[in-house]
Amino acid sequence: MNETQPLVQVENLTKHFPVFRGIVIQRKVGAVRAVDGISFTIQRGETLGLVGESGCGKTTAGRTLLGLYPATAGVVTIDGRDVRSAKGRNLLAIRRTAQMIFQDPYASLNPRWTVNSIVSEPLRVHHLFKTEPERVERVQELMGLVGLSGRLINRFPHEFSGGQRQRIGVARALASDPKFIVCDEPISALDVSIQAQVVNLLEDLQDRLGLTYLFIAHDLSMVRHICDRVAVMYLGVMAEMADHNELYEHPLHPYTKALLSAVPVPDPKKDRARRRIILAGDVPSPINPPSGCRFHPRCPLADEQCSREVPQWRLTAPGHWVACHKV
């Protein structure tokens, strides 16, 4: 495998969920266009942040590129393997290479399984260790890697706190020795005091194991801290993508500017001096998105061209992509 090539390549990824009406006889009446043609790459060892409002398609994009949801259209390549066409051993190889840390540490762990069963499941699926003692030793090693005692492996999930459960989820994701991990808002369900610990753990694991992350989140200040590049989604499409410092210091898309204006500033003087951008209206339905630019009904700069023409995803500066007629 060419190590200079991006580990993850996504081209025109699309995921539509069909909508049916009727009880006895169902008929298709439309589709939820959750992800509608997004493209990006992630380099080896890099962390790409994916941000946007609730319902913009971030989680769907993460699950679809891993193959947990079948894609409607597009091409997804992870470590040189095509995810959409993978079957049998190729699919199993992708499952070992790419893992996911889920948002809810309570719903993502089987309450009837012990920690040993949960974390060792990938070891059994991928036939990484032949005997049960070897698997137990590996589970204890993984528990230590995420900051938990190996003596706890025979306990059940309900005996742990939310932060500890998320660490167990991280250990499970690491069990197959992956190269790429989708972190689906891994800290949003945790107390603020625990969030920084989990983020520091993810950064430490990335440095030690050479991991590549897609980090999906709402907290824009945390995204700037942990991510190398940041992509902004709105209603299933990409609005802007750039280096984390470039995006935060020189945002181009009106939606990005509105998001960043809502980030809390610890300095009261700076907070009073800045201008808060309040967007009008609500997010349109993904079943019937607006024509042209999807942001135009709420955009303060929108004109007739914005409602008529779809903006092109274009490069405006080195590494800085944006889809807006007004840039």
Q: Where are the domains of the chain?
A: 8-21+28-107+178-322
CB neighbour class for 70 (10 Å; exposed up to 12, middle 13-18, buried from 19): exposed
Q: Are 228 and 240 in contact (CB under 8 A)?
A: no
Q: Whole-structure pTM over 0.85, yes or no? A: yes
Alpha-carbon distances, residue 17 vs 22, 36, 68, 102 (angstroms): 16, 11, 14, 21
The per-residue pLDDT for range 3-43, each reduced to its tens digit, is 678 999 999 999 999 998 888 888 888 899 999 999 999 99
Summarize pLDDT for 188-207 with one digit per residue, the tens. 878 888 888 889 999 999 99
CB burial readout 213-229, b (16+ within 10 A) else e: bbbbbebbebbbebbbb
Confidence of residue 2 (pLDDT cuts 50, 70, 90): low
Return d(Cα 252, Cα 295) in angstroms, integer: 14
Note the CATH number of domain 8-21+28-107+178-322: 3.40.50.300
Average pLDDT, the chain: 91
Question: Which two three-digit tokens encode residue 167?
Answer: 């660490």
pLDDT tens, residue by residue, 278-318: 788 888 889 999 999 999 999 988 899 999 999 999 999 99
Residue 1 pLDDT > 60: no
Radius of gyration of the chain (CA): 21
Residue owning tokens 């992870």: 78
Mean pLDDT of all residues in 94-98: 93
Strands 212-216 and 180-184, by their bridges, are parallel
**pLDDT at residue 266 tops 90:** no
Where does residue 306 fall: left (phi above 0), alpha (psi -120 to 50 degrees), or beta otherwise? alpha
pLDDT digits (tens, 9 = 90+) for 43-73: 999 999 999 988 899 999 999 999 999 999 9
Give the per-residue pLDDT at 195: 86
State the pairing for strand pair 320-322/314-317: antiparallel
Structure-token pair, residue 194: 């625990």
> How many CB atoms sit inside 10 A of residue 192's CB?
8
